[in-house]
């Protein structure tokens, strides 16, 4: 059961800031979850917010690949006591900060109590320093992913119009409702062929959720549609050049889609 | 040295006697239609050696070295692609008895027979290896959890129904115990963690009486056909929605 520990606070640059925490998850891998996390962080930063992306894709981290970062110090070093947390928080292109898991964390792919405690401690200690913390979780619904999601106040589910992605997104929503009592989830639809397709997919998911999914309190989770991101050749170019789309092609349809997601996210409190 | 006049200089100084005799002994054809010592001939020798070093001499199955390379690749692939993959470990029951009663030659025949059986039971994409004396491993990529038990059972039954003819006109019946585990999708794991889980199931199959299959099943949440039907109703998809049976199974975390 998810217990929101703190109220989201969007006021930037106050000493009593407590970050609004948003987990980004997808069910299926390869739907552009990390692309969305990185560019959404950049879009939020442009709105004047202090943003941290926590890469909770323990062991399969590729935020560093997307951002072209070669960190010497990662969460792994913090976990093993080889470095201080401060040293692991890195500035990323786009003006936000990142906390990277690092690769090769085989032993953390299973959620041991130690990993759980370490993640929680790290998360609690960074919360007062940022306005928004995005948690880029791994794909699937493993216990690490579910735990990483459970740390966040809000959840964005990223899906594509592909049937397998929709099915996995639906399964994720089902599990988050059953296990965490989530009553509200955000949806971003990536790789749509036409703008507007995302809304239809959200409505479709909502219908099935209302009919088949009931949380512990008998409530069906409500999906809030944050926007869709069109299939756009500029996205592939940005990924290949390992740059943020918002920096490389800020005027592209996909970049505009991400900006809209940021705006809609901030409009919801 | 069989390199004749006109062979590339690179081949001239090589000592290939051992390699060639190994290949001859293993029955690997050394090409006769190309100039000995030529690049094409050397390539054929190297290919033969590579093949030889990945095969188990007794059964012709993949050997342990090949298995370890394959399982390492598969665990990484599953981590990123999320496709379910099953690892089965099969061990011949009471094999020591076969050796003690009928001799090691009979033991070898039994091992070969079981190897053939395993190879016959799987798809061409699956990898069957002999990883120990009487122990075999099978990697089944893209094997949905719903089918895992059926595959393992089919193998177990096929082995138990087969009669093995040994010297002296005698026929033996042997059985196998099979343990299996699925690679965790979307999660960075390791080949050793995966093997360990399959091995625990093999141990369970043995201790529960042998000639049986035990699988470590991933916890499942079911998205029913009805839910899927509704999910895709009214959506115009550019690509067709595949319907693969009654229900789709997706992983779920234990409660």
Active-site residue (options: B74, B134, B227, B247): B134
Q: Which long-range contacts (CB under 8 A, 24 or more apart) does B169-172 make?
A: B170/B102, B172/B98, B172/B102, B172/B106, B172/B110
> How is chain B split into domains, by residue range?
11-54, 64-215
φ, ψ at A255 (rounded to 5°): -65, -40
Domains delineated in chain A: 20-267 (3.40.50.300)
Nearest C-alpha of chain A: how many angstroms from B135?
27
B253 shares contact with chain A (CB less than 8 Å): yes
Given B231, B238, B254, which is nearest A204 (Cβ)?
B231
In the block, which residue shows the tokens 């560019």?
Answer: A39
Please give the residue that has the higher pLDDT: either B11 or B58: B58
pLDDT tens-digit profile, chain A (269 residues): 444 444 444 444 445 678 999 999 998 888 988 899 999 999 999 999 999 999 877 656 578 777 888 888 888 788 888 888 889 999 999 999 999 876 555 544 566 777 778 888 888 999 999 999 999 987 777 777 888 899 999 999 999 999 989 999 999 999 899 888 899 999 999 999 988 899 999 999 999 999 999 888 888 999 999 999 999 999 999 988 989 999 999 999 999 999 999 999 999 87
Handedness of CA A43, A46, A50, A55 (dihedral sign): positive
Domain B64-215 has CATH 3.30.70.270: yes
Tell me what pLDDT residue A67 has.
Answer: 83
Of A142, A175, A205, the CB nearest to B187: A142
Q: Measured between CA atoms, how close is A162 to chain B, in angstroms?
A: 8
pLDDT of residue A53: 94
> Is the pTM higher than 0.95?
no
ipTM entry: 0.77
Contacts of B251 in chain A (CB under 8 A): 140-142
Q: What is the DSSP letter of A129?
A: G
Contacts 24+ apart (CB under 8 A), B1-9: B2/B36, B2/B37, B3/B36, B3/B37, B4/B35, B4/B36, B4/B37, B6/B35, B7/B35, B7/B36, B7/B37, B7/B38, B8/B37, B8/B38, B8/B39, B8/B42
CA distance A66 to A248: 13
Strand order in the sheet with B86-92: B127-130, B135-140, B86-92, B176-182, B213-216
Cα–Cα separations (whole angstroms), residue B50 to A20, B19, B47: 57, 11, 5
Per-residue pLDDT reduced to its tens digit, B183-211: 877 666 789 889 999 999 999 999 999 99
pLDDT value at position B251? 42
């Amino acid at each position: 059961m998810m217990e929101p520990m703190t109220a989201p606070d969007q006021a930037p640059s106050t000493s009593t800031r407590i970050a609004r925490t948003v987990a980004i998850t997808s069910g299926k891998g390869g739907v552009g979850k990390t692309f969305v996390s990185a560019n959404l962080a950049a879009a939020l930063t442009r709105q004047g917010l202090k943003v941290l992306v926590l890469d909770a894709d323990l062991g399969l981290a590729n935020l560093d690949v997307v951002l072209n970062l070669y960190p010497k110090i990662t969460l792994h070093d913090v976990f093993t006591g080889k470095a201080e947390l401060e040293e692991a928080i890195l500035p990323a292109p786009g003006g936000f900060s990142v906390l990277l898991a690092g690769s090769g964390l085989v032993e953390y792919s299973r959620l041991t109590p130690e990993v759980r405690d370490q993640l929680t401690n790290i998360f609690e200690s960074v919360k007062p320093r940022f306005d928004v913390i995005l948690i880029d979780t791994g794909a699937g619904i493993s216990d690490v992913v579910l735990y990483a999601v459970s740390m966040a106040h809000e959840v964005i589910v990223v899906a594509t119009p592909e049937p397998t992605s929709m099915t996995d997104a639906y399964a994720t929503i089902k599990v988050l409702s059953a296990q965490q009592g989530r009553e509200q989830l955000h949806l971003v639809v990536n790789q749509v062929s036409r703008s507007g397709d995302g809304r239809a997919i959200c409505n479709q998911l909502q219908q099935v959720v209302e009919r088949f999914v009931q949380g512990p309190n008998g409530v069906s989770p409500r999906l809030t549609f944050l926007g869709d991101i069109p299939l756009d050749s500029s996205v592939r170019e940005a990924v290949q050049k390992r740059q943020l789309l918002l920096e490389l092609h800020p005027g592209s349809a996909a970049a505009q889609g991400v900006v809209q997601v940021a705006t809609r996210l901030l409009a919801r409190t | 040295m069989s390199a004749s006049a006109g062979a590339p200089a690179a081949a001239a100084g090589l000592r290939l006697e051992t390699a060639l005799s190994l290949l001859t002994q293993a029955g690997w054809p050394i090409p006769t239609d190309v100039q000995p010592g030529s690049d094409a001939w050397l390539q054929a020798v190297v290919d033969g050696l590579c093949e030889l070093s990945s095969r188990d001499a007794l059964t012709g199955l993949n050997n342990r070295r090949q298995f370890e390379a394959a399982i390492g690749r598969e665990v990484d692939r599953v981590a990123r692609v999320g496709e379910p993959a099953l690892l089965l470990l099969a061990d011949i029951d009471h094999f020591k008895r076969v050796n003690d009663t009928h001799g090691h030659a009979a033991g070898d025949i039994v091992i070969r027979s079981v190897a053939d059986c395993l190879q016959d039971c799987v798809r061409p994409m699956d990898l069957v290896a002999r990883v120990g004396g009487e122990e075999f491993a099978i990697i089944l990529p893209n094997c949905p959890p719903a089918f895992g038990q059926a595959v393992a059972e089919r193998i177990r039954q096929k082995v138990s129904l087969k009669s093995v003819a040994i010297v002296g006109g005698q026929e033996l019946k042997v059985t196998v115990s099979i343990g299996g585990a699925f690679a965790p999708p979307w999660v960075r794991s390791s080949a050793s963690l995966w093997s360990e889980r399959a091995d625990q199931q093999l141990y369970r199959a043995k201790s529960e009486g042998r000639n049986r299959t035990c699988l470590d099943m991933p916890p499942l949440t079911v998205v029913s056909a009805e839910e899927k039907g509704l999910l895709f109703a009214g959506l115009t998809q550019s690509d067709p929605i595949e319907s693969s049976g009654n229900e789709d199974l997706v992983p779920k975390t234990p409660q």
